[in-house]
Amino acid sequence: MKLAARKREDVLVELDGTSLGRRRGSIGGFLQRYGVIIAWAAIFAYFSAMRPETFPKLATVQLIFGTQSVILITALGLVFSMAVGEYDLSVGSLVGFGATLLAVLSGRHHWPVVLALVFTLFICFLIGSVNAILSVYLGVQSIIVTLGTGTLLAGLTLAISNSGVVTGIPIGFTNFLTRQIFGLALPFYLGLILMAVAWFILQQMPLGRRMIFVQENREVARLAGLRVNRIRAGGLIATSTIAGLAGTMLAGMSQAADPQSGASFLLPAFAAVFLGSTAIVPGRFNAIGTFAAVYFLVTGITGLNYLGYAGWPGQVFYGGSLVVAVSLSHLAGKRATRK
């Protein structure tokens, strides 16, 4: 069985390498791989032309990259569950829950912030484990399980915060997170590290190829000797833990936690992950594509704000981007399968 698994992995590597080689050799393939990055550059150029006195400035670049690290970390965490074919709709609630729990423990109960951070991540790990047990081992669809746990967490978050903004996070933690390195705060670099780790796991390690097997066909992967349930569970647990980490970054940077803030991260995270799957490695959920997609979307929202379109245009942009991203991801997946 192990030999069969190795052979299947070798075949997959050969197929990926062949298809990528074909795509690299054509203009259409280049546009497919780097379309999101090209579109990102195009909308930046457009908004620069529309607001030349304000948009094409270093301050704008720092605003785009420096203020949306929470979305980046959340989306990169979501990649792990999506890469094994599991939809985690609880990520937004986990961000809000992680932020609120850290604030309650360190602000109201005066826990040392490091201990509060570790405990928060542990609880989010346990929540991911519950999602995994119900979805993987009991056979309930993950989209249903995580919708339920996300709603439950939203209620618990309101309960532990008394339905109000929680303050009192130690200023030292906030100063540490907001310290500027080349004009960007520490969470952005944490997002870069996480992107590098996700890229290495998904595209350079045997585990990444096994995750592809599991996403494509669980029964074939199981017959090949892969521990399908363990891989699926690991993806869900990783997503929950990283979403909790994103929440602690959110609370730390603002020195407060809004118990209702988590819902605003669900749609951008899914839009970025699906859009990212159309780039770099088309048809596969991947870290670098997700990074590019996050900041493509953020640049669009920032540009709309500069033009004076705040509020509902942002929701339209994110919602429309998600619909387009899912459609393009589906088409890219079909093309990758045919090749």
pLDDT tens string 130-181: 999 999 999 899 999 999 999 999 999 999 999 899 988 999 999 999 888 8
What pLDDT score does 330 carry? Answer: 63
pLDDT tier, 230 (very low <50, low <70, confident <90, very high otherwise): very high
pLDDT tens string 188-205: 999 999 999 999 999 989
CATH number of 2-17+32-338: 1.10.3470
DSSP string, 206-267: HHHHHHHHHHH-HHHHHHTT--HHHHHHHHHHHHHHHHHHHHHHHHHHHTEE-TT-GGGGHH
pLDDT tens string 49-69: 988 888 888 888 888 888 889
pLDDT tier, 300 (very low <50, low <70, confident <90, very high otherwise): confident
Q: Domain extents for the chain?
A: 2-17+32-338
DSSP string, 150-190: HHHHHHHHHHHHTTS-EE---HHHHHHHT-EETTEEHHHHH
pLDDT tens string 69-88: 999 999 999 999 999 999 99
Q: Specify the pTM.
A: 0.87
Percent of the chain with pLDDT over 70: 88
